[in-house]
Each structure stands twice: as structure tokens, then as C-alpha cells.
Amino acid sequence: MISIIIPAHNEFDNLQRLFKVACFIEHEKLLEIIVAVSPGNTDTIDMLECSQKVKVLHCKDKGRAAQMNEASQAALGNTLVFLHADVVPPQEFIDDILRSFKNGYAAGFFTYRFDKDTWYLRVNASFTAKDGLFTGGGDQCLFIKKDIFEKLGRFNEAQVLMEDFEFFDRMKKQNIPYTIVKNDLVVSARKYECNSYLRVNLSNFLLVVLFKFGYPGNKLKTLHNKLIRTPYNG
């Protein structure tokens, strides 16, 4: 059984949009969706119109890693799926995850495309089909068996930025078998709409390189906030 975990900070509109189009919600193997809300959230999250499978968890600590970890402890499923609020999965989402486990994988990610169709965003999205430097980002939607997630020590809450890449590094070091499902998620292009394409790409490249060289998470977060104008409401 599957538990989907969505970390959220003032994401009401994106969550409402997601729940209106997510036909996979009624899949018999989807046990629950936990919206892990930050303590600083100020929107009307409890007014969401959604399935009874959706639960709102008001977390004690702010930060994606902390919120996802707290939700993972509350999750009842034996499979965890970490989904961003501005990402819409494909219709076959749950079946793709189940098929990956049946094929012997313990974890995986999805390819994605953006909700704006430009040639340069298509180029960026094409890299999600390949296993390389940028594999493992949160927009690719990590799914993993819960016992493996626990064994790996969950997300590192000190890694306040790029916690997804840090966790993926530990997965690879432990030789956890994973796959990249070639069935696109639809990811918001809002970061590119607030910044130039070149600015986002150069910033992302710099942040990944610094991360690989062990730059501390809090300093990465500070640098990110200086380089990128964010539309994420806080």
C-alpha cells in the first residue's frame, strides 16, 4: 500500500489544482495522501476540497526534509512517494510505481516535462530521462519502500536545500536498485517565469557543483535565495 507525502508551505492553489485532476487518487493501492504543512503556513490549507484519502498534517518543524520525515513517521503505507505540490503525475502513476517494484527495484523516479512548452524547457526536461548529474531532484518524485527509507536514515534535516540529492547520494552508496520511469510528470515552470532561463540554469549548475564538493546546506540555501527570485510564497 502506498502513502504519498506532499511537503507544503502556502501551496493551497497548487494542491487544489492537483487534487482536481489527479485521477490516480482513487486507486485501490493508494492508501493515503499526507499534506505535510509547515508551521509557518498562512493559507487556508484546511479548506481544501479533496478526497477522504487526503490528510493534512501540521508539522512541528519547517523545511522540506523535516516535514517529509515527520509525515513518513505518520504514514501507514509500506511504500512512500514524495511529491511536490506543483507537480502533476500521469494517470498511470500508481501502476508505474507498482510495476517498478515488481521488476525488482526498491526505489525510483519519474521523467518530467514542464507545463510551458518551449524548446529550452524541453531540453532541460530531456535530461530527466538520463541517469546523470541532475538525477534525484525532488521534481522527479522519489518513490521508495518504507523500510529502505528508514534504513537509510530518512532525509537529512540539516540539509535545508538539496535534501533530495543528498538522500540520493546515500541510496547510490548503499547500492539501492532504482529506476527512472519514462512517463512524464508535469512540473510547473514558475521558477523560469520569475527568472531568466540562463539565470536558473547557471544557478542550478553552480549549486549542484558546490553540493558535490560538500558546501554546507545552510550556505547553499543562502546562496540560492540570492541567485533566484522564488515564487514559492515564502
Threshold 0.85, pTM exceeds: yes
| pLDDT of the residue at 233 | 41
| pLDDT of the residue at 36 | 97
Contact 33, 25 (CB under 8 A): yes
| pLDDT of the residue at 144 | 98
| pLDDT of the residue at 11 | 94
* Strand order, beta sheet including 2-8: 54-58, 30-37, 2-8, 79-82, 143-145, 107-114, 178-187, 87-88
| pLDDT of the residue at 232 | 52
CATH of domain 2-189: 3.90.550.10
| pLDDT of the residue at 231 | 60
Contact 26, 51 (CB under 8 A): yes
**Digitized pLDDT (tens) for each residue of the chain, 234 residues in all:** 999 999 999 999 999 999 998 889 999 999 999 999 999 898 988 888 888 999 999 999 999 999 999 999 999 999 999 999 999 999 999 999 999 999 999 999 999 999 999 999 999 999 999 998 778 888 999 999 999 999 999 999 998 889 999 999 999 999 999 999 999 999 999 888 888 889 998 998 899 899 888 888 889 989 998 998 876 544
